[in-house]
Chain A
Amino acid sequence: MSRSLLSIEELGADGVHRILELADTMAEVNRRPNPKVPALRGKTVCSVFFEDSTRTRLSFETAAKRLSADTMTFAVSQSSLSKGESLKDTIETIAAMGVDAFVIRHGSTGAPWLVDNWTSASVVNAGDGWHAHPTQALLDMYTVRTALGRTGGFDGLRVAIVGDIKHSRVARSTSAAFHAMGADVTWVAPRTLLPPVFHEHHTESLDDVIGPDGSGVDVLYMLRMQNERMTEALVPNLREYTSRFGLTPARAARLAPHTLIMHPGPINRGVEIAVDPAELPGAVITQQVTNGIAVRMAVLFDLLSADADPTSDLERPDFA
């Protein structure tokens, strides 16, 4: 157990498995009529979001509350950042109020690592720049594991991550997590949307990974494609993008029934997924959102429970 969760790489394969096991316990809590346990009573979790993301923030806050932690929110619009207060000042000020964990979202690569240097509290990276989003990766792993019933690992699982990989922290962390679980990952994107050294295990054809009979891939992970990539001339236009890299009705009809379709949300309807997801039997997109709470409960519990309230009725599972 470490103090902070900053990246999948730091967590390692063992850490990923540990969190997923713990998430099973949390999912059980979430199925209770009253989904709340006192495990983190007396702990304070502060979300500090320098970038707007209501979904992720609510998911973390719900997770903290279900473990009975107190929550605080620091949104940038209310802050003095516009007055020139630095990230360091902000963190040191909040830390002085007594915080056990920071959940931080920041537009700059590495910001959570800097925060981790400046505070003795735990730090959870809720997304930094285009770089990392470890809890998204963990909830993705948990979703695949649950959907396919593969508790041992993902050996032999063929995963395609499709779309704007260059600007995606989800792609980076989720790839790392799939690798840690033993899956084979192929990146599918035009080269303008691919970081320079990701050219290995890369294809520019979604049809190639799906294969003629649709059996070429087990997990199709579609990334959000933003309009601004068009104005930046990274793709000629969204129609062409969809025709080459979108999950169109024709491609969806070809997919093998067992193929999981994932998306970190929110979906850019008609672009990366050009079908109503409700019509895709393999879509686990809403499960990803639901599982996000259990996984984030597991992460917070993992980081904060070492000296947690001993009156807790949630015993720390033994993984020895």
Chain B
Amino acid sequence: MTDSTSLLITGANVIDATGERLADVRIADGTITDVATGLTAADGEHHIDAAGLTLTPGFVDLHTHLREPGKEEAETIETGSRAAAKGGYTAVVAMPNTDPTQDSVSVVDFVRRQGQLAGLCDVYPSGSITVGRQGTQLTPFGELSEAGVKLFTDDGNGVQDALLMRRAFEYAKGLGVTMAQHCEVEQLTGGAVMHEGDCCSHLGLPGWPSLAEELMVHRDIELVRLTGAPAHFLHLSTMKSVELVRAAKADGLPVTAEATPHHISLTDELLRSYSAIYKVNPPLRTMDDVTAVREGLRDGTIDAVATDHAPHVPESKEQPLDQAPPGMLGLETALGVCIAHLDMPLVDIVAALSWKPAAIAGIDDVHGRPVAVGEPANLTLFDADVSWEVVPAELASKSRNTPFVGVPLRGRTTHTILDGTLTVENGTPTR
């Protein structure tokens, strides 16, 4: 059955959680209606010849800073959604460090509604663990979870108080939500600008020791052991963090973890350029850490790639290292960085970009689904082999703070389909 709103994709290499095969896929009214070989386009049907391309469930970003409300000069929910779509994402989890903070139903509803209005990808607001991300009072987990929030985090900061974190785990356990921790013991990172090691010693900068991350990973693993509540570890960056999570998983604890594209591709040596474009939190680390994080992704210790997309206006990054804010763009380059830097099967890369994060975000009823009849048509089509470089003026994000300008990337989205509608066609957003 076809009609004028239907879409036919032929000849694609289809990858989903069930495996990999060549197939043609027909979509109508937001649903996959046909998966077969030898399908032909009906009159008036939109046809994409996808020979040589890979069709997968749409990507899901667990860690996006959309900046709205509060910092619309750097990004809006619309521009961030467009950047997401361009990167192949059909869903993003919006981090709560907005102004006001996403700590109430009204702010969370606002973010979701702006996402719907933009209509470029599904925006799932996360909630903060503590009111105003101040680390002292728990947010109303019950109300927020009823409003659809599945992931709670004070990202940008870790919850410093161990007792408060214990209570967060305990209280949230019955609600079916997950606590996502930005692991940083702030007593050890005061004033820190970059990874504590060789490079920071020579540059005379205050260092962010790996231990500051690892101590909190360790603390939360033990709190998970104590409470039985699930934890997700945001943007892990050190060798020992990966080891801790590997051991916790071996113990059967309900923990998951993510790594960013930049922590699998860049090292602290880049700060020798004095360019704040490379300043992130947690900081870029050593090659040994990069290797360990890649290995964590390869063996499944780290479940997902999450971008930590953090837009900033150019002026704020044109400052000395200690004055510039941390963060870099990620949505439009994640796939290209992953294929270029991860020596693992494409199906495992897509798993880390799609169905595994969808499960962590609690949205795997709609996203990261198999490419099969009756499933929602949230899909990504990409060229896994194309080599390309970022052209800043072509970025969909309102900001330009990407470290990947002039760096060869491999693999680029050509089409993104949200609920049966093309949000990106031939690499260009449709709206």
Contact = CB atoms under 8 A, between A and B. Distances in A.
Interface of A: 86-88, 106, 108-111, 113-114, 129-132, 167-169, 172, 195-198
B203 A110 contact: yes
> Which of A109, A113, A172, A197 has most B Cβ within 10 Å?
A109
A166 to B, nearest CB: 8
Given A106-B320, A109-B193, A197-B201, 5 more contacts: A86-B319, A108-B323, A131-B203, A168-B204, A195-B204
B50 to A, nearest CB: 44
Nearest to B207: A196
- Tell me whether chain B's interface is mostly helix, strand or loop, or mixed: loop
A110 B320 contact: yes
A288 to B, nearest CB: 21
A85 to B, nearest CB: 11
Contacts of A132: 204
A267 to B, nearest CB: 22
Interface residues of B, number: 20
B124 to A, nearest CB: 36
14 contacts: A87-B320, A108-B320, A108-B321, A109-B205, A109-B321, A109-B322, A110-B203, A113-B273, A113-B274, A129-B204, A130-B204, A131-B204, A132-B204, A197-B197
B431 interface: no
Interface in B249-273: 273
B406 to A, nearest CB: 16
Contact of B201 (A113, A129, A168, A198): A198
Interface in B309-326: 315, 318-323
B191 to A, nearest CB: 11
Contact of B322 (A113, A129, A169, A197): A129
A111 B319 CA distance: 8
Contact of A108 (B197, B198, B200, B322): B322
Nearest to A167: B204
B205 A114 contact: no
The 3 A-B residue pairs with the shortest CB-CB distance in the complex, in nearest-first order: A110-B274, A108-B320, A130-B204
A235 to B, nearest CB: 17
Nearest to A129: B204
Contacts of B322: 108-109, 129
Contacts of A195: 200-202, 204
A30 to B, nearest CB: 32
Contacts, number: 63
Contacts of B315: 86, 88
B320 A109 contact: yes
B196 interface: yes
A109 B201 contact: no
A20 B206 CA distance: 33
A128 to B, nearest CB: 8
B318 A109 contact: no
The CB with the most chain B CB atoms within 10 A, among A113, A129, A169, is that of A129
B182 to A, nearest CB: 23
Interface string B53-83: 0000000000000000000000000000000
Interface string B296-315: 00000000000000000001
A129 B274 contact: no
Contacts of A109: 193, 203-205, 274, 320-322
Contact of B318 (A108, A114, A167, A196): A114
A75 B315 CA distance: 22
A31 to B, nearest CB: 36
B404 to A, nearest CB: 20
B313 to A, nearest CB: 11
Contacts of B201: 195-198
Interface in B196-218: 196-198, 200-205, 207
Contacts of A111: 320
A129 B318 contact: no
A287 B126 CA distance: 63
B73 to A, nearest CB: 14
Contacts of B200: 195-196
